[in-house]
């Protein structure tokens, strides 16, 4: 049996506000293999984004064990987690989260800067990625000069900058029209076809149907783990 890429056991996440404790995740067990395309679904407040943040090492669990590609990451330092986010994980957010004053080129370049890639190599890589997402002619455009679909494609290109194994997308089509959304989903399909592990939080049944497997969350727990029923 091949090693799971993501292996979570008993993951809990609690938030303290004064004397009140809120548990967003109440003991999540899940496994995701290399090359899978997973949909995470559930009602609002079920813990989807919290789970994704922990998967992507953007946050740490309060309790439980998290192995990423065989390595225990729930106890790593903030520097190690930052390195994982830079090298192994690519985030795509619903709100795009591009640097508003930077061009498309410069936005995609940011992870490469943090990875200390040389300028020539950086230029080559960004040009490649822009072409891959169909935005070669938009390199010098700022986010205010692009449509929602174009911004999301820039975000995807940024997520791919250091060739991570995992793409984590939180409602990537939530702010897009149908056509743009479809284009984004097509991109994810293409990435999946190249062997990347793609994990998408979505309310969209259509997108969920593209995935290999659905993880259903409710009230911080896994309610279902399989095909969309």
Partner 1 sequence: MELTTLYNVFVRDFRRQKKRIALTLIALAWGTITIMLLLAFGEGLHRQMAINSRGMGQNIGVMWSGQTTKTYQGLGKGRRIRLFKEDPAFLAERIPEIKLIGGEYSRWGIKVTFADKVLNEHVAGVQPSWETMRNFIPEAGGRMINSLDIEKRRRVAFIGYDLANRLFEDQSAVGKQILLNAIPFTVIGVMIDKMQMGNYEGMDEDIVAIPATTFKAIYGDPWLDYIVYQPHDPKDMPEIEKKIFEAMGARYRFDPTDDRALSIWDTVAGNREFNNIMLGIKMFLGIIGFLTLLIAGVGVANIMYVSIKERTREIGIKMAVGARKSFILKQFLIEALMITFFGGLVGMLVSYAATEGFKSVPIQSDVLDFMGRPTISTETGIIVVVILGIMGVLSGLFPAMRAASTSPVESLRYE
Give the binding site for partner 1 (CB under 8 A).
53, 56, 58-59, 78-79, 82-83, 85-87, 91, 93, 97-102, 106, 110-111, 113-116, 158, 161-162
Least distance in Å: CB of 1 to partner 1?
31
Least distance in Å: CB of 195 to partner 1?
22
CB environment 133-170: b (16+ within 10 A), e (fewer): bebeebbebbbeebebbbbbbbbbbbbbbbebbbbbbb
Least distance in Å: CB of 161 to partner 1?
8
Indicate the residue among 98 and 130 with the shorter CB distance to partner 1.
98
Least distance in Å: CB of 154 to partner 1?
12
Determine the Cα–Cα distance for residues 149 and 182; give it in Å rounded to an integer.
10
Distance of CA 110 to the CA centre of its chain: 16
Q: Where are the alpha helices (DSSP H) in the chain?
A: 48-55, 78-87, 104-114, 119-132, 148-159, 178-193, 205-210
Indicate the residue among 99 and 193 with the shorter CB distance to partner 1.
99
Least distance in Å: CB of 113 to partner 1?
5
Indicate the residue among 92 and 208 with the shorter CB distance to partner 1.
92
Indicate the residue among 22 and 101 with the shorter CB distance to partner 1.
101
Contact by Cβ (8 Å): 56, 6: no
Indicate the residue among 86 and 152 with the shorter CB distance to partner 1.
86
Chain position carrying tokens 């089509």: 173
Cβ atoms within 10 Å, residue 228: 13
């Amino acid at each position: 049996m091949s090693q799971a890429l993501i292996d979570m056991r008993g993951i809990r996440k609690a938030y303290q506000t004064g004397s009140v404790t809120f548990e967003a995740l109440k003991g999540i067990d899940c496994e995701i293999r290399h090359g899978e395309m997973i949909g995470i679904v559930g009602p609002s407040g079920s813990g989807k984004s919290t789970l994704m943040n922990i998967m992507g090492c953007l946050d740490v669990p309060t309790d439980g064990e998290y192995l990423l590609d065989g390595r225990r990451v729930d106890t790593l330092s903030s520097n190690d987690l930052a390195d994982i986010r830079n090298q192994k994980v690519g985030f795509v957010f619903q709100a795009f989260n591009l640097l508003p004053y930077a061009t498309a080129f410069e936005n995609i370049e940011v992870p490469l800067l943090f990875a200390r890639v040389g300028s020539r190599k950086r230029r080559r890589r960004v040009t490649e990625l822009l072409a891959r997402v169909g935005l070669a002619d938009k390199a010098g455009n700022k986010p205010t000069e692009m449509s929602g679909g174009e911004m999301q494609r820039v975000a995807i290109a940024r997520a791919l900058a250091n060739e991570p194994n995992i793409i984590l997308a939180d409602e990537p089509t939530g702010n897009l029209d149908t056509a743009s959304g479809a284009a984004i989903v097509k991109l994810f399909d293409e990435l999946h076809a190249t062997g990347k592990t793609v994990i998408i939080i979505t309310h969209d049944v259509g997108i969920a149907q593209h995935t290999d497997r659905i993880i259903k969350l409710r009230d911080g727990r896994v309610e279902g783990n399989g095909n969309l029923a």
